[in-house]
Amino acid sequence: MLWAFRDDPSIVTFMARFVSKYLGSRHVFDGIEFYLPQLAHMIIHLEVEWDDAVLERFALVIAQQSMHFALQLNWILQGALEDYRPDNIVDGSPNENYSPLFYARCLTLKKNVERVVVYGKPRAAELQRLYEQGQITKQEMNILDLADRRFNALQITSHDAEELNEKVGALDGELLVQMPNVMSAHGDHDKHKKAGDDKFNEFQDRYCVLEKSVLTCYMIPGGCSSGGGVNPSPLKYDRASLKLDRAMSLEKATIGDPNSTTFEIEIATPLYPFALRCASEQDAKLWHRRLQEEARASALFSETEDEKIKQDMTQDQLERYEFFQKEREFVFNLTKVAEDLRMKERDER
């Protein structure tokens, strides 16, 4: 029914709230879990002129109730990220199916799923205690628990909207870019090759736009740079009229410090290294700061912040966080083994 009336926001909102009211029923929950791939598909791909956070909030309400649901949704989103990311996960080459909109949606929802899993239902223990003391009935506890989860989902999606409104906008400018090399057939880079090494790739003039954890490089009209400056919003060029050269994801990227002499910034992603060369020290500092911000924005917790955030968690939050992380790592390692074996001959497996 959600799919049949996907263009009607009132029906979608009503159905989402109605179904979430009966999540405690095993029959209802099993039905939602069965249709999870379709629900995820709608959240990612639905393009209508209304608040698309309705379905996302619905998914986040369920994810707070069920870790199993959250993990399944996480794996679906991870698969969609690989489908729509700007570069192929296998060899780092440009991805023909790259979709900026779908990629950004998947990143945001994946981060929000992690957030609700870690921070869970803050009043769950309190409500359970009130029920055990006889101060509220089981029905009242369930109603308050659902209201709590709805509030959390609303807070998270509203926070995303506020961040979007307050964001300073895309950073763009004409830079010298040393494009990444595609991986070898074995999936490895040349051991002697690194970003900034002119022996392998020459720096090229490109019009660059940095937003939503992606650096997009376009061919410059006329084929020459006007000096590599940074442009404030609105963007200098109409991107629809430009030829795309390369889009590079900053997910889990490491951003090096700017070179004080050449104003170069080396970026290392899990797939490849590349480098930018700015026109001035001021430009280099600005691009460096924004690159770091976009790289951090692609995940809920960065590796450098991980330990600090763990210290601020309650014991319950820490246990949920570690369980969620270990489950994801287990499935990732399992699928990696399967993928590695798939590429080998039968007698070598």
Q: Render 41-110 in DSSP notation, one character per residue.
A: HHHHH---SS-THHHHHHHHHHHHH-HHHHHHHHHHHHHHHHHHSSB-TTT-PBPTT--HHHHHHHHHHH
What's the confidence (pLDDT) of residue 90? 72
Helix (H, G, I), strand (E, B) or coil at 177: strand
- Residue 349: pLDDT band with limits 50, 70, 90: confident
Alpha-carbon distance of 317 to 312, in angstroms, equals 9
Rounded mean pLDDT of 5-28?
Answer: 70
pLDDT tens for residues 258-282?
A: 999 999 999 998 888 999 999 999 9
Give the percent of the chain with pLDDT over 90. 16
Give all domains of the chain, ordered by start, each with its CATH number.
9-166 (no CATH), 171-297 (2.30.29.30)
pLDDT tens for residues 22-72?
A: 666 777 778 888 888 988 888 888 765 555 577 888 888 888 888 889 999
What's the confidence (pLDDT) of residue 195? 46
Please give the model's pTM, rounded to 2 decimal places. 0.70
Alpha-carbon distance of 75 to 58, in angstroms, equals 18
pLDDT tens for residues 160-190?
A: 544 544 445 688 888 999 988 765 333 444 4
What's the confidence (pLDDT) of residue 133? 76
User: How far is residue 264 from each of residues 15, 197, 203, 227, 276, measured CA to CA in Å?
Assistant: 53, 11, 11, 15, 5
pLDDT at 150 > cutoff 60:
yes
